[in-house]
Amino acid sequence: MYVYDEYDQRIIDERVAQFRDQTQRYLAGKITEEQFLPLRLQNGLYVQRLAPMMRIAVPYGLLNSKQLRKVAHITRQYDKGYAHISTRQNIQLNWPLLEEVPDILEELASVQMHAVQTSGNCIRNTTTDQFAGVARDELEDPRPYCEIIRQWSTFHPEFAFLPRKFKIAVCASEEDRAAIHAHDIGIELVPNASGEIGFKVLAGGGLGRTPVIGSVVNEWLDKQHLLTYLEAILRVYNQHGRRDNKFKARIKILVKAMGIEAFREAVEKEWAALKDGPSTLTGEEIARAKSFFTDPAYGTIDGAASESALQAQATAEPIFGNWLKRNTVAHRVPGYQAVTVSLKQTGQAPGDITDVQLELLADLADQYSFGEIRSTHQQNMVLADVRQQDLYPLWQSLQKAGLATANIGYLTDVICCPGGDYCSLANAKSIPVAEAIQARFDDMDYVYDLGPLELNISGCMNACGHHHIGHIGILGVDKKGQEFYQVSLGGSQAKDASLGKILGPSFKQEDMPDVMAKILNTYVDLRGEEETFLDTYRRVGIDPFKERVYAKAD
Amino acid sequence: MPRLIKNGAVLSDEQWQAANPDADAAGPGSIATLSQWEALGDKQDSAVQLEPGDGVEALLPHLDELALVAVNFPVFTDGRGFSYARELRERGYRGELRAVGGFIRDQLHYLSRCGFDAFQLADESQLEEAVASLGDFSEHYQAAIDQPLPLFRRRA
Ligand code: SF4
């Protein structure tokens, strides 16, 4: 993983000092509320329903055990002993005190962490595949490019006051695990006709009030031009994105208004002036970035023997076998496997993790996975490099800590924003809906039989729970001061990305488990052999679901 | 006489009067609005003020003639002026580039990186203290006007 040198450290230390001074001036009444707002947002601090909340950056979801222990310490010292993993791979604190935020930032800086640009109208944390570097279907490790983008976007002087927030995601695998179609800029590593790997660049994707799938701006961009090209896109957006209406300020609205052709032309024009300038990447810089993401010291393992020993364990202890099947994925190195640590135990808010669990994960990472851990945009954690022979003891430890719910990619692996329990923007609570659904569908055999199913819940139009791209999406809406829930079906964040379609009138909170049951029963009745929920939905459309859900009781 | 920060020091501007959008034409010694400036026959040693949305296009053929470009920030959250400044400098403008309007002290560092060398803060009483914010960071990742080489071309 990337390690700071003295330059990186100095930059981040100076940021802490800057924000300490700003906070002091604010508390002394020398900065107005309005002026302080973007300053604190760009340091991760946003004020929510109950208290200020703080979003700590986890660049492209990668953490080491030392950092994890520091986060655990911070949740204990400055918060209530737990943290929340967001849908953008970041870590959120629910109860920090404004006065203490500079101290928290200083603690973070001591382990090469920060909260830079995790909120506000600026370039946010770049996200990627949680299985980057270990996935079998990967063309090339995307993380060096994420790090290059991280450095370029950190304190970018020109783009700190954009019309609206700006999110970039990078993916390099066959299966898109970074939802690049739903980002302001999506970058995919692809080969050109002669096999050379470059970037396909998409722009104008996004969720929120007006969900849009991104459009291709450039089919293949030579790697060296990454930063100048991004700069050109941002420059067009900064100058021409709408600033009169917050809800029309994202780049997706600009791309739509201009049309992709005209947008591309404008980008090319800006790019012509920047191309081949000093920000052009050098071979040395790409090599330097790559040098931080080399293979850890994998052992040489007889893959076949290791595999059969593992299968024997799985057969001997079916609960372990089940977890193995649901929560681990193949690794490109023989004898290794990547493990998803489920933060979706029923009874716990999706994505929440306690200080004790954080410390346990740090220990397990040290013991079994080269000291590294990842956060996922599905609000789980990943130990990416576990030896197959260590899976059994790892599972035992995880199980004791409530971190081995075998539900990854299934119905109860709910993706859920903090919603009305914490968030001042919410129209409705989201966590209780997630919990009610998890509680209702507690028969895991039934859940497995339903197959892969993504359920996403957002408490309002801001779509932090990415409800548009869930196979089933739930959105909290306000109906005359009452909390209601709108359901959509058929969204997908995969390469064949699609946006969910609204089922019909919204429902009361207490009806949601029944509504889910009707939707799921419809699927079970109509599904063809081997058909997933999404397959069936795409074949039969929304009407059969609608009929069943809204049928008058007889 | 407006006071401002120029090249890192606080001083009074004795040369230029603020733009007056209600006048038909810019008087001598006053900063012209873009439309007043476009109407000027002789642009030598002229001064113009850009508003958000104006863009820099009209100025590009006259960069050598301009003595001053002021960029107005009616609200500090409207960041278009940051791009205007960089574009002007990248296309070769060497005269004074002045930020005016509602921008805040905590933006000084980024503004100067984008090529501004003069800052007329709305609250003149804060000028002396504000100078410190120009130096918020001593190192940067990206290339900008103050440091045309990105860190990756300079890392030891
Ligand atoms: S979707 Fe709405 S309710 Fe949920 S966290 Fe985002 S802003 Fe808050």
Q: What confidence score (pLDDT) does residue A52 get?
A: 81
The partner residue sitting opposite A279, judged by closest CB among B83, B106, B150, is B150
What's the gap in Å between A466 CA and the centre of ligand 1?
10
Cβ pair A544, A526 in contact under 8 A:
yes
Is A285 part of the contact surface with chain B (CB cutoff 8 Å)?
yes
> Which residues does chain A have within 8 Å of residue B83's beta carbon, measured at their own beta carbons?
158, 235, 238-239
- Crossing angle for the helix pair A251-258 and A260-274, to the nearest 10 degrees: 110
> Concatenated DSSP letters for A48-116?
-SSSEEEEE--GGGEEEHHHHHHHHHHHHHHSSSEEEE-TTS-EEES---GGGHHHHHHHHHTTT---T
Which among A461, A473, A533 has a CA at the least distance from the CA of A499?
A: A473
- Give the minimum alpha-carbon distance from B41 to chain A in angstroms, rounded to a whole number: 29
- Give the minimum alpha-carbon distance from A235 to chain B in angstroms, rounded to a whole number: 7
Class for domain A134-290, per CATH? alpha beta
pLDDT of residue A30 exceeding 60, the answer is yes
Which among A466, A464, A467 has a CA at the least distance from the CA of A485?
A: A467
Q: What confidence score (pLDDT) does residue A175 get?
A: 87
What's the gap in Å between A463 CA and the centre of ligand 1?
6
Lowest mean pLDDT among A110-119, A434-443, B12-21, B91-100: B12-21
- Give the minimum alpha-carbon distance from B139 to chain A in angstroms, rounded to a whole number: 6
* C-alpha gyration radius of chain B: 16
pLDDT of residue A443 exceeding 60, the answer is yes
What's the gap in Å between A425 CA and the centre of ligand 1?
6
- Do A154 and B111 count as a contact with CB atoms less than 8 A apart? no
pTM of the complete model: 0.93
Instruction: Give pLDDT tens digits for A519-550.
Output: 999 999 999 999 999 999 999 999 999 999 99
Backbone angles phi, psi at A458, to 5 degrees: -120, 145
- Do A158 and B110 count as a contact with CB atoms less than 8 A apart? yes
Distance (Å, whole) CA B127 – CA A113: 33
Instruction: Give pLDDT tens digits for A168-179.
Output: 999 999 888 888
pLDDT of residue A285 exceeding 80, the answer is yes
Instruction: Give pLDDT tens digits for B43-73.
Output: 999 999 999 999 999 999 999 999 999 999 9
Q: What confidence score (pLDDT) does residue A480 get?
A: 86
- Give the minimum alpha-carbon distance from A58 to chain B in angstroms, rounded to a whole number: 19
Instruction: Give pLDDT tens digits for A327-352.
Output: 999 999 999 999 999 999 988 899 99
pLDDT of residue A50 exceeding 80, the answer is no
Mean pLDDT of A287-314: 96
Mean pLDDT of A117-124: 96
Mean pLDDT of A129-151: 96
> Which residues does chain A have within 8 Å of residue B111's beta carbon, measured at their own beta carbons?
157
A303-400 fold: Sulfite Reductase Hemoprotein; domain 2 (3.90.480)
- Cα distance between the two ends of chain A: 60
> Which residues does chain A have within 8 Å of residue B141's beta carbon, measured at their own beta carbons?
11, 151-152, 154-155
A553 is written with which tokens? 């009781």
Q: What confidence score (pLDDT) does residue A94 get?
A: 86
Q: What confidence score (pLDDT) does residue A123 get?
A: 97
Distance (Å, whole) CA A9 – CA A320: 43
pLDDT of residue A554 exceeding 60, the answer is no
Please report which confidence band the pLDDT of residue A553 belongs to, taking 50, 70 and 90 as the band edges. Answer: low
Please report which confidence band the pLDDT of residue B38 belongs to, taking 50, 70 and 90 as the band edges. Answer: very high
Q: Is A526 in the pocket of ligand 1 (CB under 6 A)?
A: no
Please report which confidence band the pLDDT of residue A13 belongs to, taking 50, 70 and 90 as the band edges. Answer: very high
Cβ pair A200, A187 in contact under 8 A:
yes
Q: What confidence score (pLDDT) does residue A49 get?
A: 61
Burial class, A271, CB count within 10 angstroms (exposed 0-12 / middle 13-18 / buried 19+):
buried
Query: Quick one: which H or E segment has residue B46?
Result: strand B46-50
Place of tokens 């005359």: A480
Is the domain defined by A6-109 classed in CATH 1.10.10.60?
Answer: no
- Do B150 and A38 count as a contact with CB atoms less than 8 A apart? no
- The correct CATH number of A415-549 out of 3.40.50.720, 3.30.365.10, 3.30.413.10, 3.30.300.30 is 3.30.413.10
Instruction: Give pLDDT tens digits for A357-406.
Output: 999 999 999 999 999 999 999 999 999 999 999 999 999 999 999 999 99
Please report which confidence band the pLDDT of residue A494 belongs to, taking 50, 70 and 90 as the band edges. Answer: confident
The partner residue sitting opposite B82, judged by closest CB among A151, A158, A284, is A158
Window 225-264 of A: residues touching B by CB (8 A cutoff) are: 227, 235, 238-239, 243
Mean pLDDT of A45-67: 88
Instruction: Give pLDDT tens digits for A215-252.
Output: 999 999 999 999 999 999 999 999 999 999 999 999 99
Whole-number average pLDDT of chain A: 95
pLDDT of residue A47 exceeding 80, the answer is no
CATH 3.90.480.20 occupies which residues in chain A?
6-109, 303-400
Domains located in chain B, CATH noted = 3-153 (3.40.50)
Q: What confidence score (pLDDT) does residue B19 get?
A: 78
